[in-house]
Amino acid sequence: MLNRRALTRRGLLGGAGVAVGAGALAGGARAELKGDTLVIGQAGDIVSLDPAYRVDTLTGNVQKHLYDTVLTRRPDMGVGPGAAEAVERIGPTAWRLRLRPDRRFANGEPVDAQCVQYTLARLNAPETRSPIRSFFEPLNKVTVESPTSALIETETPDALFLARMTNLQLVPPRATEKLGLKFGEAPIGSGPYTLDHWRRNDEVVLNANPTYGGPAPRFARLVIRPVPEEIARISAVKTGQAQLVTNISPNQADALQRAGAVQVLRTASNRVMVVQFNKMAAPADDPRFRRAVGLAINRDEIIRGLLKGFASPVRGIFGAAIQGVPQDVRGDFDYDPDQARRIIQELGLAGREIELAGAAGRYPLDRECALAIGAQLRRIGLQVKVRTSDYGSFAEDIKTNRVAPVFIQPHGNVWLDPLPQIIAFFDSRGHWSGWRDPALDAMIARAGNAEGDARLARVGDLIRKLHDDAIAVPLYADEVIYAAVPELKWSPRADDLIVASEVS
């Protein structure tokens, strides 16, 4: 019988040695036995249980277990079967999905071509107000050919079609229509788990789905809990109250590695820290100033000192796992503080007070990174005032051009393709973008309509544009760092998702 105290936030933050389940890890117990509870501590709560409103990895870690996607990302980031056992391209703008005949939602509805059609129509409906609507707008026509065959057509060739299918989480038409806005309170999917309960800012508890059409889940119960305090997350692993926790900072990871009390698991991520500019605010409207900022930043100093080596320098704004990026085009800046200082003097900006903005608490050491860059910019003669805020306020300031002239923007990439990232952060209509440049927008559109070598070349042109106009200064790719009990076996993924079937 589950210990209810251990499955509450108070229990997780409470005394050492509290058991979390009949077979869960505590002390020397083992987690890999079938029927155990797997407890994961995350840095924050989820946003929604409705897949139309998934906007972050914390939410994705829960929804991944409730819903099937049409296709899946394998641990190596390749694309594999999901609800569809095969996808066939039958023309420049047409794809046929072959759905598995044996999959059903937890309420008995079939996972069929009709549910694909319904899910896409719901995501694209204006009244749904889905924040991920733009992901699926190009999929403008779905024809149900048979229960196991759906034909999807696009207006233009779509190089992202397979990636879109890895993010398309299917919902049951009848139940979703019946529940309406309450679907997120009582979600029904066809994934390996079903919802037991979600208490906001406390816990999400999932039970193994006995009717799941894929391999039987390894754990009978999955508990995912928001634990904002890093020390509390680490303590939970040390005491056996959680088997795996996320968002470990480089400082703590370094200390844990030296102590050897718990496992430190790490991998290069798709999350890249980038210095960007609000060109509506002087002096960031001058590309010469922006270039001086790029030349003034010593990212190796930040990686080795602040981040203890738990990060990797990048040649552009993309992480190493992003596919379709030309390897012979550089978008980063050499460190040349003397040249940067000369530019600042020529522009008459020496001694000028400049504001630098960033988020605080969103990613490990994000505030400290902003402070470090502020110190480096002072070395070239600028008087830098660093201001950090919560990520929600910070992101809203970017989109409305109220952000500081210089700011540090964390980039994510769920598509593993360069164009969605460029669109999100630099296109005039991008979800996280405050940049406005019709010439850049046109270049992005041309790249999006190209395929093969032509697309690769146009992505290279975009990287050069971001560099030559000093629109973006790439810094480093974060490593995703976790702490885990010694018995746990798992290889972290570059997409930062935790999939219970990959854990033992």
Distance from C-alpha of 352 to C-alpha of 343, rounded to nearest angstrom? 13
Residue with tokens 């900022």: 293
Confidence at residue 54, expressed as pLDDT on a 0 to 100 scale: 84
How many residues are present in the chain?
Answer: 504
As a whole-number percent, the residues of the chain with pLDDT over 90 amount to 78
SS (H, E, C) 442-464: HHHHHHHCCCHHHHHHHHHHHHH
Task: Name, in order, each residue with C-beta under 8 angstroms of 156's C-beta and a sequence gap of 6 or more.
Answer: 93, 138, 448, 449
Confidence at residue 55, expressed as pLDDT on a 0 to 100 scale: 75
Q: Find the angle CA(398)-CA(58)-CA(173) to the nearest 5 degrees.
A: 100
3-state class of 95 per DSSP? Answer: strand
Is residue 124 packed enough to be buried (19+ CB in 10 Å), middle (13-18) or exposed (0-12)? middle
Candidates 407, 418, 77; CA nearest to 273 is: 407
Confidence at residue 395, expressed as pLDDT on a 0 to 100 scale: 86
Strand duo 37-42 + 221-226: pairing: parallel
The structure tokens listed for 316 are 């552009």
The structure tokens listed for 292 are 């001086």
Q: What is the secondary structure of 220-247 as a DSSP string?
A: SEEEEEE---HHHHHHHHHTTS-SEE--
The H or E element spanning position 367 is: helix 366-378
- The whole-number average pLDDT for the span 155-161 is 89
Confidence at residue 31, expressed as pLDDT on a 0 to 100 scale: 33
> Does pLDDT of 23 surpass 80?
no
More confident residue, 75 or 14: 75
Confidence at residue 297, expressed as pLDDT on a 0 to 100 scale: 98
Confidence at residue 342, expressed as pLDDT on a 0 to 100 scale: 98
Of the ranges 9-13, 280-284, 329-333, which one carries the lowest mean pLDDT score?
9-13
Confidence at residue 399, expressed as pLDDT on a 0 to 100 scale: 86
* Paired strand residues for 312: 477
The structure tokens listed for 422 are 């460029």
How are the residues of the chain apportioned to helix, strand and coil, as percentages rounded to the nearest 5? 35, 25, 45
Confidence at residue 364, expressed as pLDDT on a 0 to 100 scale: 78
pLDDT (tens digit, 9 = 90+) per residue, 219-240?
A: 999 999 999 999 999 999 999 9
Confidence at residue 339, expressed as pLDDT on a 0 to 100 scale: 98
CA pseudo-torsion sign 61, 65, 66, 71: positive
> Does pLDDT of 482 surpass 90?
yes
DSSP state of 214: S
* Paired strand residues for 39: 223
Task: Name, in order, each residue with C-beta under 8 angstroms of 273's C-beta and a sequence gap of 6 or more.
Answer: 363, 366, 369, 408, 409, 410, 411, 475, 476, 477, 478
DSSP state of 300: H
Cβ neighbours, 10 Å, residue 77: 15
Q: Are 483 and 264 in contact (CB under 8 A)?
A: yes
Confidence at residue 7, expressed as pLDDT on a 0 to 100 scale: 31
pLDDT (tens digit, 9 = 90+) per residue, 100-131?
A: 999 999 999 999 999 999 999 999 999 999 98
Q: How far is CA 146 from CA 96, 97, 100, 112, 170, in A?
A: 11, 11, 12, 8, 17
Cβ neighbours, 10 Å, residue 78: 10
Distance from C-alpha of 433 to C-alpha of 431, rounded to nearest angstrom? 6
All structural domains of the chain: 5-66+191-243+485-502 (3.40.190.10), 71-177 (3.90.76.10), 267-480 (3.10.105.10)
Please, what is the average pLDDT of the chain? 90
Confidence at residue 492, expressed as pLDDT on a 0 to 100 scale: 95
CA pseudo-torsion sign 259, 260, 261, 267: positive
Candidates 66, 43, 51; CA nearest to 168 is: 51
Confidence of residue 18 (pLDDT cuts 50, 70, 90): very low
The structure tokens listed for 401 are 């051009």
Is residue 258 packed enough to be buried (19+ CB in 10 Å), middle (13-18) or exposed (0-12)? exposed
Alpha helices in 6-96, H assignment, sequence order: 9-12, 57-66
pLDDT (tens digit, 9 = 90+) per residue, 379-437?
A: 999 999 999 998 888 988 998 899 999 999 999 888 899 999 999 999 998 888 999 99
Task: Name, in order, each residue with C-beta under 8 angstroms of 15's C-beta and a sequence gap of 6 or more.
Answer: none
> Does pLDDT of 186 surpass 80?
yes
> Does pLDDT of 347 surpass 80?
yes
pLDDT (tens digit, 9 = 90+) per residue, 312-339?
A: 999 999 999 999 999 999 999 999 999 9
pLDDT (tens digit, 9 = 90+) per residue, 444-458?
A: 999 988 889 999 999
Amino acid at 99: L
Confidence at residue 6, expressed as pLDDT on a 0 to 100 scale: 35
